[in-house]
Chains A and B, each alone.
Chain A
């Protein structure tokens, strides 16, 4: 098989690059070794955990992808990202040129840039103050902790009441001791949501907010808004423990949009090796398809979890091309003993040129670009820039190609 561009990795960065390139008329393929980090989405995308994300670019390390793109181009790509999603049928909330806040399952506020359709984006912290909140959970659902959510909100001056629904529709699911999970509940809720909305309505007293777990709208993205129309209060959908229902749906929507544009999505396949020479990648070998050739290649393989980078006792490495990896010597310096402090290992990843061409022994591949969390030099968790880096670097690379 031959393509214009071969994208390795089917997560947020890979799909974004694929969509952008298909729109430009390129023939592309995405090979995805299993599902991706969208399944663990918070329901929101972070650009940078700063009040003015664009103004803060100047303060970032020089290796940070935004520092390389520059604040001006960052603005352009930020706007493009929202448009790209809209064309894929996903209307994200938020102004692409500014930050807001999302409410976490722990009742904390975290800075967010754009959110998935059912996830509220608050303009400021004051927007969460002083509400009367009805939090509704489903009986026996352990991945949505109402006590912590209530605690967090009460610290912000809200008053909370927690109620639990027992729906006969859930009893069948309950017979399985391990499957009372967001996605399975969401499958039940695809049909049972009308009942939930009705029950919530009858539970409502003088509350102005209702909070439900994100277990609605797996197949039909309009379900959350239909619930909102039924319940006479502001209904918020707050995240659960993974898998993320909105994240999973978004992945399916993006993949469908990509395929509708003529892209070839190879799900469950894996690049085993690559043929390289004279600073170029000629082809890759996948487990299912065999050799796939392309003019350009994008490495969007993700971080440790997705195996875009790997580690042994002494090194962090990039397994496919043996690309250069930004890292500290010796594992003693990889970690902070406090789990809640920033961890050095989370910033490791592939070294590139300022234009995101992948470096190997200091020499760039002419036609291999890196995008998303495989990139080194950014503490995406601490900086809250994971999704932003994925979207922006993917768009930047797509533009270069």
Chain B
């Protein structure tokens, strides 16, 4: 190699010009003065930590890992990756029981689902919320996502044989949320795909993508999940299938966080993992798919771009797809963080910050006054529903409703 041809380093913090654009777009900085800000926590702090690990600050945990600093950075510095990698490497604080509970989305789901009515009743009760608040520091304002009595996977088992009638096949990574909390989205997905002439199969036992484990410092667990998922995704890819998802966060995690943060090689599957909205949009634009829409459909929708969707840069596909629905009145909201950031907003200590971060978004939604909000992320859904009182639907569900079948 030629000397000095590239002058970057691990996580390229040397590309930083100290221009501070990252902090101007960080949603946490204006809401939480304890957070050092992306520049200080990221590239600046990295130099100091290399000098002496003592310069690591536990306040880096306030980073939402929303990646908006990376989207804004004119130098292409992986600011959030630097921060998360530093937490993984230097943090001495062990995840609390509360964090483990919040992070173990699939384990909790498996346990809770058979008792769904009881659990839902309990987690919805004021008394239980107070206990969660006091004992586990899970904020009492939060409404736990309800657990579905019958999971998506068991519903799908009956549908599976019928799917083989379609010439084109895709694999669906449904994620914990669809399976345990909101199977309807999965059903909508199958409906839409079938309407597009595409059959659906599930992976050979997917596991949680691990995003909640990453943000709660459970890196070993996240690595195990990642390795497992890469293996089962690999099988689907080998059989010639694309892997579709309905969650921007699961998608982003499996494509980019696996190699960047967890060091799990996903090279063989990465480019095959895509959001259902992107897949459909491209098929429709290429003339390969034509969807039948209702003639009398009407909805006033505000689209919210989740942080990881912004990072993926795929908002154009979901927006483009929604725009194809006749009778839709669509407002694209300014791209702002809603403040939930997965499990972050559930924690009692983060509640106020979380709501402060989301305020500009909630205010804009109130001004637009849509029938409902569309968005590709389940945790944004909880936050926006709790904070605005409006329903939030995945674009795939919007599509499913607008289909004339």
Cβ < 8 Å to B, chain A residues 266-288: 266-270, 286-288
Cβ < 8 Å to A, chain B residues 33-72: 33-37, 39-40, 44, 70-72
Contact A39 to B19, CB < 8 A, known contacts A175-B34, A268-B70, A268-B71: yes
Main secondary structure of the interface of A (DSSP, over half): loop
Stretch at the interface among A178-186, A351-359, A382-390: A178-186
Residue of B nearest to A314 (CB): B2
Cβ < 8 Å to A, chain B residues 1-29: 2-5, 17, 19-21, 23-25, 29
Which of B72, B311, B313 is packed against the most chain A CB atoms within 10 Å? Answer: B313
Contact A259 to B332, CB < 8 A, known contacts A179-B29, A313-B4: yes
CA distance A312 to B5 in the complex (A): 6
B120 at the interface (CB under 8 A from A): no
B326 at the interface (CB under 8 A from A): no
CA distance A181 to B19 in the complex (A): 12
Which residues on the B side are within 8 Å of A179 (C-beta)?
A: 23, 29, 33, 37
B76 at the interface (CB under 8 A from A): yes
Residue of B nearest to A248 (CB): B24
Contact A34 to B21, CB < 8 A, known contacts A175-B34, A176-B37, A306-B74: yes
CA distance A288 to B5 in the complex (A): 25
A93 to chain B, nearest CB (A): 24
Query: Are A35 and B74 in touch, CB under 8 angstroms?
Result: yes
CA distance A182 to B380 in the complex (A): 29
Contact A40 to B19, CB < 8 A, known contacts A33-B74, A268-B72, A268-B310: yes
Which of A34, A35, A39, A173 is packed against the most chain B CB atoms within 10 Å? Answer: A34
CA distance A269 to B17 in the complex (A): 19
CA distance A346 to B52 in the complex (A): 38
A37 to chain B, nearest CB (A): 8
Q: Give the residue of B3, B20, B311 whose beta carbon is less than 8 angstroms from that of A268.
A: B311
Cβ < 8 Å to B, chain A residues 237-264: 242-243, 248, 259, 264
B30 at the interface (CB under 8 A from A): yes
Query: Are B19 and A267 in touch, CB under 8 angstroms?
Result: no
Q: Give the residue of B3, B24, B30, B40 whose beta carbon is less than 8 angstroms from that of A178.
A: B40
B73 at the interface (CB under 8 A from A): yes
A36 at the interface (CB under 8 A from B): yes
B314 to chain A, nearest CB (A): 7
CA distance A33 to B23 in the complex (A): 17
Query: Are A312 and B2 in touch, CB under 8 angstroms?
Result: yes
Q: How does the 8 Å CB contact mask read for B137-171 relative to A, with 1 for contact and 0 for none? A: 00000000000000000000000000000000000
B91 at the interface (CB under 8 A from A): no
Which residues on the A side are within 8 Å of B313 (C-beta)?
A: 266-269, 286-289
Q: How does the 8 Å CB contact mask read for A172-212 relative to B, with 1 for contact and 0 for none? A: 11111111010110011000000000000000000000000
A305 at the interface (CB under 8 A from B): yes
CA distance A183 to B75 in the complex (A): 19
Chain A residues near B (Cβ < 8 Å): 1, 33-36, 39-40, 172-179, 181, 183-184, 187-188, 242-243, 248, 259, 264, 266-270, 286-289, 305-307, 312-313
List, sorted by A's number, 15 A–B pairs whose CB atoms are closer than 8 Å: A33-B74, A39-B24, A175-B34, A176-B36, A176-B37, A178-B39, A179-B29, A181-B24, A188-B30, A259-B332, A266-B316, A268-B71, A288-B314, A289-B314, A313-B2
Those 10 A-B pairs whose CB atoms lie nearest each other, nearest first? A288-B313, A268-B71, A175-B33, A34-B74, A183-B24, A176-B33, A269-B313, A178-B40, A187-B30, A34-B73
